[in-house]
Structure 1
Amino acid sequence: MLKVGLTGGIGSGKSEVSRRLASLGAVVIDADRIAREVVEPGTEGLARVIEAFGAGILRADGTLDRPKLGSIVFSDPEKLAVLNGIVHPLVGARVAELQDRADADAIVVYDVPLLAENGLAPMYDVVVVVDAADDVRIARLVELRGMARQDAEARIAAQASREDRLKVADIVVPNEGSLEELTARAEEVWAELTTRART
């Protein structure tokens, strides 16, 4: 089993690379998706988040209002640490469960947004970083996700710097061009990963 850590700052295009690798045959374990699952209604995770931040972070239907919670934690490192302290252990347990189900010869790609921030690089055989300049990422968040510029800047500031992410990279996927260019680069990365998996 080849364990690949895939990361990139918000707006870098990491999710697109993750989707492409999955379509090529990778077993993708998406930490963000799992992080959403562990705070769904009725979970221990959501109960603990409500206990920490109050019922005001819920929508009328009882689901977590992620943008509202994000606006609270991304501008306050202490509150962000509280949230991470609740969610990360639950995500870790679910990731371990999914990993145990993968075939012994699988290429398992762990889609981990906060890989650099949490010092997780040593857990993987290979770290792939999807990289784009901050101004490119801000423009994407504003134009494609409808985020206010100030919120986009706060999200980027709350994450590791480009330099910190690049320090832990074994493979860098530059993404400031077209989707076609990114797809082609993802295919090159897959070829490299399959070669590494055989050695």
Structure 2
Amino acid sequence: MFIVALTGGIGSGKTTIADRLAELGAGVVDTDQLSRELTADGGPMLPAIREAFGGTVFQPDGRLDRSALRRLVFDDPQSRARLESILHPPIRQRMLERIDRLDTPYAVIVVPLLFETGQQSLADRVLVVDVPESVQIERVRKRNGLTVPEIERIVASQTPREERLARADDIIDNSGPPENLESQIQRIHRRYLDLCQASPHETNTSR
């Protein structure tokens, strides 16, 4: 199957783009959603998280305190690396399983930490959703209620914007109003349909 890796910084609009490509017929696998599945109430990764970080990142009823965990890992690079070592392998495995089950012209894997985890090797094309850092900060502040310093720490932990753009095969500019997106999405969708028809190949998720 032809695989597109969709990435971008926090607040860039990855979900919006992925949802629209899904409406147009692409098969979408979102690694953030897989992470939430693995860490939901009773999720299989909760025991490992509790063992690594203790009860301070859990609520009294046993549910994961995502805000406390986020503060911890973005204040401490070692804690972030420990959490990633717990979550990234099962997320990758579940992602590959979902790709194998798709029956769509092409697959879109939404991976915020694409370059940080080296998973661009799974994809035929890398699609970057791009916005200026100032736009990221304002959108995340309104959406999540985080403080500007909290958002800046998250942005600083991700691949720099310039590097993402340099490593992209395709770019969608999401810095403007929503109505500017549709023509870009339609164009990129048609391009991917053309590419997967021109280069048919067997699904290969062992790359």
Calculate the TM-score normalised by the size of structure 2: 0.91
Which residue is 1:167 aligned to? 166
Structure 1 unmatched ranges of 5 or more:
none
Residue 170 (structure 1) shift: 0.4
Which residue is 1:82 aligned to? 82
Residue 66 (structure 1) shift: 1.1
Letter of the aligned partner of 1:93 in structure 2? Answer: Q
Q: Please give the residue correspondences for 1:1-199 in structure 2 after superposition, counting only pairs within 5 Å.
A: 1-103=1-103, 106-199=105-198
Letter of the aligned partner of 2:50 in structure 1? Answer: I
What fraction of aligned residue pairs are identical, expressed as a percent?
Answer: 39
Show CA shifts across 1:102-123 (max 9, x none): 12x6310001000021222221
Alpha-carbon separation, structure 1, partners of 2:177 and 2:60: 39
Letter of the aligned partner of 1:134 in structure 2? Answer: E
Residue 197 (structure 1) shift: 1.1
Show CA shifts across 1:129-170 (max 9, x none): 001111110111112322111111111011110012112210
Root mean square deviation of aligned Cα: 1.2
Alpha-carbon separation, structure 2, partners of 1:20 and 1:44: 30
Alpha-carbon separation, structure 1, partners of 2:43 and 2:49: 10
Aligned residues: 198
Alpha-carbon separation, structure 2, partners of 1:146 and 1:43: 26
Show CA shifts across 1:69-104 (max 9, x none): 00000121111110000000110111121111112x
3-state SS of the aligned residue for 2:143?
helix
Alpha-carbon separation, structure 1, partners of 2:121 and 2:92: 15
Calculate the TM-score normalised by the size of structure 1: 0.95
Residue 189 (structure 1) shift: 1.1
Residue 183 (structure 1) shift: 2.7
2:127/2:168 contact within 8 Å kept: yes
